[in-house]
Structures are given as C-alpha cells and as structure tokens.
Structure 1
C-alpha cells in the first residue's frame, strides 16, 4: 500500500505492508531508495507492520527546497503511522538516521537493526585499504568530469559487489535495480550532508539503551567492518552479526538472511 507523507514542501513517498506485529521501518542506503527493501519487506509482512520510505531526493520523493533533517522527517512518518515506538532497520546512511533518531528521540524507538551503518561524528579512517583506494582513485576523475554513468558503475561495483570482488559479482535484477536507484540520486546531485541532524552520535552511543543488532557483510569495505566492531563495543545493548558472502547491500543480494536478522532482533526484545 502506498502512503504519501506530507511534509513542509515535499510529499515523502512510502510503501506499507500491513501486519499484526510490531512496526518495522526500513531506512535505505545513500545509493538506494525504498525499493531496495521490497524483498525483505515481503518476507516480514504479516507478522510485522512494515514500512519503507524514500528520503527527500531519493526514489519518488522530490528534492527539498527548504531546510530539513531526515530525523525530523522520520519522526513525522512515525506520527503518520500512529506515533508508537518502532523498530528502525537502517542500512548505511539509513543507519545514521536510525542512530541519530535513537539519540534525539529515544521514546520513538523500540530497537535498532543497523547494517554497516554510517555514524554521525565517527572518526574518518587514516587511509583506505588498497582495493578500496583503487576504486576511489577511479571515482574522483569520473565525478570531476560529471560522468554520471561511470560514477554509477563504479559505485555499484564498490557497494554492491564489494571492493575486493570482481565487477558484476552480483548480477541480474539486483544489479539493474541498484544502477537505476543510484542514477536518480546522482541526477539530483544532492549536497553532501543534506538533511543531517547536526549531532555526533558516535560520542553519545552510551545513551542508546534500546537493543541494537549491528550487522555487516564480510565483503564490505574493510574500514566499515572495523567501525562496526567498534560500534558493537560502544553500544550498551549491542548484538554482533556477520553476514557471509555479501557486501554493503546484503538485502539486495539475498533478502532472507536480512529478514531473519530482523525477526530475531524483534523476537528477543
């Protein structure tokens, strides 16, 4: 079921799968949109009330013309859904939104499932591993030249296949969708940090008292694997899960293990 959440200047588009259990909100990565979650949502539906929403400028949600934060937008979505505490499942940048929300609005969050999340205020790596640096060295000139097709190709290699994997490791509909989602984002040219909450959640992780599952694919970017391990150590109620044979967007590769991750987390609350 499609929902449109009216905000100040844009309608944010969300899809909803009814269910009798807890509300689970799926928050997409910075190179994706809500469609990346469809396989996982369909597996969770029925036993859970599932919602997947586009952020402003992603998927079918327009680019904003006024100041905003993704956290405020998420709270508005939760209000639209009835206002009760929800489980937030965030991938990459969606994980940052989930964590920032847990810090700023702890009463709105029942628990978190974070998949290789970005974390506001986290320290930057001193250097990248050679295979990731190789792709970064190719991305720089493509970005400078405005070659969006090449940027999309390289980013899909980095995030879907994993930096050490061969290009095209993940093929078929998952790859086609990844390229299409990111093409829309690149065309919009969203500014870096657009919609950030302006906090450093990294320094406030001990305040996050809800249960948190931190998961990552073992083919993901190495510095993110290290950051996830640190995140587990710094959160009061964290559970660690490694997903074998997948990279940064595991729910695109194989939704079932990710759906199981969510089921397990909610059941153990």
Structure 2
C-alpha cells in the first residue's frame, strides 16, 4: 500500500505518495494527471524491492504554492534533497518525461536510468499535424476558448485517454473517473503565471548516456509515437516499445502490460530479481 507524504519547502507544500525501500524510483506525472496516476506502479516497484516515490508538481494535485517565480527542475531537485535521494531511476510521462530529460541533462551523475512514457521534450517545436488530427486539435482549441471546464475535461479525456482517433469513451470505468478527477482538479486550480521555462533540450538529448526505456501507445498522437522512434536513434542507450491498443497514458490504461516492462527494465539496471520482494 502507498503512503501519503507532504514536504514544506519554503512557501510551497508538495504532496506525494511513496512505498517500499531500496533504490529510489521517482515517478513524474503527465500534465493532465497528478501523483495518483502512478499508484499502481509505486505498489509494483515496492513489491519488487524498490522505493517508489511520486509527487504533485506545482499546479497539480494537492500541492499548494503561491504564484511566485519557480522552476519545475529546481522543485524536483529540492524534493529529492528533502527526501535524501541522491540518485534514482526516473519514470516520466508526457511533460513529466520532459522534466526527467531536463534533470538527466543537468544532473547526469544522479540518473541511474530513465523510463519515458509518451514523452514531450522541453523546447520541441509545435508539430505539423495531419488533417484528421488537426480536426481534433481545432475542436480542443475551440472548447478551451469556451471556458466550459467540464467540456474541456471531456475533450481532454477523449484526446489523451482514449486517443485522438479513437471512439470517445473507449476507456471507461474507474480509470476514466480517475483521469477526469485529476484533470478536473488541474483545470480548476489558480493559474501559476511566473514559471521559469526550461532551456530547450531538443538538441541535447543525445548527450544522455543513462539506459532509457521509451514507451508509447499506438493510439497516441502520431508525432508522439514518432518521437520515440527518433529518440531511440538519438540516445545511445535507449530502446523503444509500443504498447498496442493504448493511447497517451499506457501505464494508467494498461498497468498489466506496462508494469512488466518497467520491472524488467529495473531488474536489468540493478541486477535484482524482479520477482523478489
């Protein structure tokens, strides 16, 4: 079972979940989720003999902060220091993957491995989208301009959970309810206006030497799936896996398929038997 924690760092209170002990595995959530997207994975790595950790970044989940100048990278470094974590394996989804990349570039000696899920990259150019995807993107933009938070949440669930070209409602039940709870909370939070944007990592990713597992869902936006193929060539110790039948959040949608990949990767990094607890 996961246990909640909170850390007060200056005027910000970061909330998180943890379980287990041993080598730290730090989970960084997507921009439409919070720490809760990783609860299944935290329990899985804890059972395999690792220390699973996830926290809510500013503007997400239950973390509370004033509208002040901040950097997600500096926040991550501060959270790790507060937890007395020097080095770890970092698992990041979407914008959490971009943060993991930024951390690996700034602190290569502290990264034992990376797992990047549907990752974005700081400084990446706006992609050229095919016509069928542009239709979805235009609809998302129109709904956002309307200011109807429930409608925005519904469209976000279609795009990111179901997949942009999938039938709306493809993913249902508890997973959809959790997604809409997490994303709805984000949409209703006060906007933070003073983030220090990270430097572009687009041309530096090839400098990362840490072993890296790249995971994408085949129902995700095509440019995101293609990015994983490109990264597998740019990063010398990376390999890419596509989980069929999933979209942008395969770890949330199909933990039964994602978790074995994660545990196998951790076992490879550490030499530990992933069946030991």
Task: Report what 1:92 is aligned to.
Answer: 94
Task: Report what 1:206 is aligned to.
Answer: 206
Distance in 2 (CA, whole Å) between partners of 1:196 and 1:94 is 16
Structure 1 runs of 4+ aligned residues shifted over 6 Å read none
Q: Deviations over 1:139-189 (max 9, x none)?
A: 222211211111110011000000111000000000001011111111125
Q: Report the Cα offset of residue 64 of structure 1.
A: 3.6
Distance in 2 (CA, whole Å) between partners of 1:227 and 1:121 is 14
- Within 5 Å, which residues of 2 pair with 1:1-269? 1-20=3-22, 22-46=23-47, 47-125=49-127, 127-188=128-189, 190=191, 195=195, 197-269=197-269
Distance in 2 (CA, whole Å) between partners of 1:100 and 1:110 is 14
Distance in 2 (CA, whole Å) between partners of 1:239 and 1:191 is 35
Normalised by the length of structure 1, the TM-score is 0.94
8 A Cα contact 1:57 1:64, kept in partner: no
Q: Report the Cα offset of residue 84 of structure 1.
A: 2.4
Distance in 2 (CA, whole Å) between partners of 1:50 and 1:212 is 18
Distance in 2 (CA, whole Å) between partners of 1:265 and 1:209 is 16
Q: Report the Cα offset of residue 219 of structure 1.
A: 0.7
Q: Report the Cα offset of residue 52 of structure 1.
A: 1.1
Unaligned runs of 5+ in 1: none
Normalised by the length of structure 2, the TM-score is 0.91
For residue 201 of structure 1, give the secondary structure of its aligned residue in structure 2.
Answer: coil
The answer to which of 168-177 and 140-149 deviates more is: 140-149
Q: Report the Cα offset of residue 196 of structure 1.
A: 5.3
